Structure 1
Amino acid sequence: MLRNMKTDAEGDRVTLAEIAEATGASLSTISKVLNGRTDVSKPTRERIERVLHERGYVRRGAGRSDTRAELLELVFHGLDPIWSMELIGGVEAVAKEHGLSVVLTVSGDRHAPDPEWIDGVIRRRPVGVVLVFSELSPEYRERLHARGISYVIVDPAGDPSPDVPSVGSANWSGGLAATRHLIELGHRRIAAITGPEDMMCSLARLDGYRSAMNKAGLAVDPGWVRFGDFAVGGGRDHARAVLALPAGRRPTAIFAGSDLQALGVLDAAREVGLSVPEDLSIVGYDDITLAPWVSPPLTTVHQPLRRMGEEAARLAIRLSGEPHPESTPRMDLATNLIVRESTAPPRA
C-alpha cells in the first residue's frame, strides 16, 4: 500500500483538499463518498476510493469520538437460533462494558457480506465491526480503513488473510481429540461428517480426524467421509448413507463436524433401530447449550463460541483507537473434548 500519510506527531496528515486536488472532485462529493452516500456516480466513487487507498487516507478523529455512533456492528450471513446466540452474547457483554450498543446485521453468504452492506456500515459509522465470515475483500477493508472503522473476523472458516484481524479456534486439534477418544474406546470403523468442502474449518477438523486414524494405523474407508452443511438435515442425510453401508463396512462411531449435524446423526440412528451409544457412538463439535440435554447427552468438542465473540469485540474496540497497528492480531482459542453419554466402547 502506498502511504503518504504521516503520524499525528509529524503533523502532516493527508487532507481532503489534497484528495480533491488529486481526483478533481469537489469536497462535498468526497464527503458523500466517505459517508457512504449513494448519490455519486460509480466512476467518480471508484476514482475517489482509489486515491483514498493510494494516499493512505484515514479520517480525522478515527477511534472513539463524538462523531462516531456508540455502536458495535455484528454481521452474520445467517442466524442459527442456537449457535449464533453464543457469539451474540459474547459481543453484547463486552459492548456493554464499554458503554456501546450492538447492531445486528444479516448479509451475504458464508464467504462475505453483500456489496450493499459496505455502504450501510459507512453510513452507520460504528466504533467497530465484528464479522462472522471467512473473508473480507481488500476493497471493503480499504473502505473501512479510510473511515477509521475497525473490523475483526470471527473465523469459523479457519483461514482469513494474514493481514485481517481475526479470532478463531483450534479446529484441527478438535478433530484430533474427538477421533482419538473414539479410538481409545476401541472403535476401529469411524466415519466423519464434516461441513462444506470449501470451508477451512471443515477441512481442518477432517484433517484432525485423518491424523488420528493414521496415527492409530487405521484405514479410512472413502465411504466414511462426508461433506455436509453443519445443519441437522445434512447430518441426518449423510448418516443415513453411512449407516446403509454393508455390515462389514458400517462404522461403529461417527464424528460429526457440528452438534447440529450430530443431532441429525442421532435421528438417523434411531430410524434404523440403532441404540446410542450401545450400537453407535457419536461425537459432535461446538458444545452448544442443547448438547447436555439431548438423549443421550452429547459427547462433543467444546468450541468457545461465547469467548470468541468476547475477544473479537475487545479487539475491534482496541483497534478503533489504533488506525495503524504494528502487526495484525490473530487469536486462536483452544478447544477441548467434553465426554458425556453418547460414546461408549463398541459391542464385542
Structure 2
Amino acid sequence: MATIARAAGVSVATVSKVVNGRSDVAPQTRARVRELLLQHDYIAPVFRHSEAAASPTIEVQFAGDLKSYSAEALEGIMDAADDLGASVVTSKASLTTNWARDLVAAGRRALIAVTSVYTAAHLDALDRAGLPLVVLDPLHLPHSRVNSVGATNFAGGLAATQHLLSLGHRRVGYVGGPAMAVCNQARMHGYRAAMEAAGAPVPTDYIRPGEFKYQAGLRSAGALLDLDEPPTAIFAGNDEIAFGVIEAARTRGLRIPEDLSVVGFDDTLLARMASPPLTTVRQPIREMGSVALRTALRLANGEKIESHHIELATELVTRASTAPCR
C-alpha cells in the first residue's frame, strides 16, 4: 500500500479505502489508485482467509481434447477434494494476459494443470499472483519451479517390452507420442533398454513417434505393418494409440493377438472394454489425480513440499491382446 500511495501521491489510508471499496474517495483519485493496483498485479481479496481455508477452491485446467485419461484423472481429483472438504472448478487452459490474477480474484487457492505446458512467463505470472501450481503428468522434464505428479514411465516401457519378449517376439515396434514429451521418451527408453538387454535388433523404422491419438496410431502402425519385414508385436505409447494400431492391423486382415500382439499404456476404462481386452501398462491415473489435489492444498496452506516431483508406480496388466509369437 505504501508503494501505491507514493506513486499516486496520496496517503496509505486513501489506498486502503480504495482497496476496501469505501465511497469517501474522489472518483479521479480512485481511478488513479486502481490503475496503479492493476499495474502492480494486486489481487483484490474476495473472501477472508479463514473462509478460504474452510472450503478452498482448486482450479483444474485441461489442455486439448478431453479423453478417457482426463476423466479418470478428474475422478481422482474430485474424490480427494470430497475427502478433504475442498471444491473443484474445471476449465480449458486459456492463458490470457491476466489469467493468473483473474483466477485468484475468483477465489482459487491453487491450480492443477493436466498435461498442460507453461512457459517461464506463465510461471512468473503465477508467482506474482501467489497461486501454487501442480502439473499432472508433465510433458516436459520436471522443473524445480513446478510441482508435478507423474508415473514411472521408464519402468512401464521396460515391463511392456519384456512381456512381449517373454512371449518369443523379437521384431517389436514402438508407436509413441510426441518425440520431445518426457513421458514418451521415458517409455521409449524403457522399450529400447529391454530390447538391447535381450539382444533384439531395433531397426530405425520400428520407432514411430507422433501424437497420443488414435489417428496417429492408425497411421504409424500402418507404416510399420507395410514394411517388408513388419513387427510381430507393437508397444503403443498409450491406449488410444493402441486402438489405432489394432484398427490398422484389422484393415490388413491381421488378427489380434494371433498375427500381431499389442500392448498399450494407461489402462483406461476403454482398455478393459476393448475387443480383445487390451494388455497394457497401468498408470495409476486416479491416484495421481488424488496426489495432485492433496499437494495443491498443502501448497495453498503454505506447507513445505518434500519433493517438487512425485512418481507413482506403474504395473503391467496382461489381457487378451498379446500371445506367443507364431
Q: TM-score, normalised by structure 1?
A: 0.79
Q: 1:88 to 1:64 in 2, by over 3 A?
A: farther
Counterpart of 2:230 in structure 1 is 250
Counterpart of 1:48 in structure 2 is 40
- Which residue type is aligned with residue 317 of structure 2? I
> Match for 1:287 among 267, 270, 289?
267
Alignment of 1:91 onto 2:77: yes
- Which residue type is aligned with residue 58 of structure 2? L
Q: 1:212 to 1:25 in 2, by over 3 A?
A: farther
> Match for 1:205 among 181, 187, 204?
187
Separation in 2 of the partners of 1:311 and 1:326? 12
Separation in 2 of the partners of 1:129 and 1:291? 29
Separation in 2 of the partners of 1:187 and 1:150? 47
Deviation at residue 135 of structure 1 after TM alignment: 4.1
Q: 1:114 to 1:334 in 2, by over 3 A?
A: farther
Determine helix, strand or coil for the equivalent of 1:197.
coil
> Match for 2:219 among 229, 237, 240?
237
**Unaligned stretches of 5+ in structure 2?**
21-30
Separation in 2 of the partners of 1:277 and 1:157? 31
Matches within 5 A, 1:1-348: 16-17=1-2, 19-20=3-4, 27=15, 48-49=40-41, 65-66=50-51, 70-108=56-94, 113=95, 115=97, 117-157=99-139, 159-246=141-228, 249-322=229-302, 325=304, 328-347=307-326
- Which residue type is aligned with residue 344 of structure 1? A
Contact residue 239 and residue 264 of structure 1 kept, 8 A: yes
RMSD over aligned Cα atoms: 3.1
Separation in 1 of the partners of 2:88 and 2:127? 20
Deviation at residue 64 of structure 1 after TM alignment: 5.3
Per-residue CA distance 1:86-107 (angstroms, 9 max, x = gap): 0110111111122222111102
- Which residue type is aligned with residue 255 of structure 1? F
Separation in 1 of the partners of 2:206 and 2:195? 12
Separation in 2 of the partners of 1:232 and 1:139? 33
Q: 1:274 to 1:116 in 2, by over 3 A?
A: farther
Deviation at residue 147 of structure 1 after TM alignment: 4.0
Structure having the higher helix fraction is 2
Determine helix, strand or coil for the equivalent of 2:316.
strand
Deviation at residue 223 of structure 1 after TM alignment: 0.9
Separation in 2 of the partners of 1:62 and 1:328? 30
Deviation at residue 346 of structure 1 after TM alignment: 1.0
Contact residue 64 and residue 320 of structure 1 kept, 8 A: no
Determine helix, strand or coil for the equivalent of 2:90.
strand
Deviation at residue 245 of structure 1 after TM alignment: 0.5
Separation in 2 of the partners of 1:46 and 1:65? 25
Separation in 1 of the partners of 2:161 and 2:48? 45
Separation in 1 of the partners of 2:167 and 2:236? 17
Q: 1:224 to 1:317 in 2, by over 3 A?
A: same
Q: 1:28 to 1:44 in 2, by over 3 A?
A: same
Separation in 2 of the partners of 1:125 and 1:133? 23
Separation in 2 of the partners of 1:115 and 1:193? 37
Separation in 1 of the partners of 2:318 and 2:118? 36
What is the aligned length? 310
Q: 1:144 to 1:66 in 2, by over 3 A?
A: farther
Separation in 2 of the partners of 1:29 and 1:225? 64
Per-residue CA distance 1:255-278 (angstroms, 9 max, x = gap): 000101101111111100001111
Deviation at residue 192 of structure 1 after TM alignment: 0.2
Q: 1:30 to 1:302 in 2, by over 3 A?
A: farther
- Which residue type is aligned with residue 299 of structure 1? T
Greater shift in the superposed pair: 296-305 or 69-78? 69-78
Contact residue 190 and residue 224 of structure 1 kept, 8 A: yes
Q: Percent identity?
A: 38
Counterpart of 1:10 in structure 2 is none
- Which residue type is aligned with residue 346 of structure 1? C
Determine helix, strand or coil for the equivalent of 2:211.
coil
Separation in 1 of the partners of 2:223 and 2:305? 50
Determine helix, strand or coil for the equivalent of 1:343.
coil
- Which residue type is aligned with residue 243 of structure 1? L
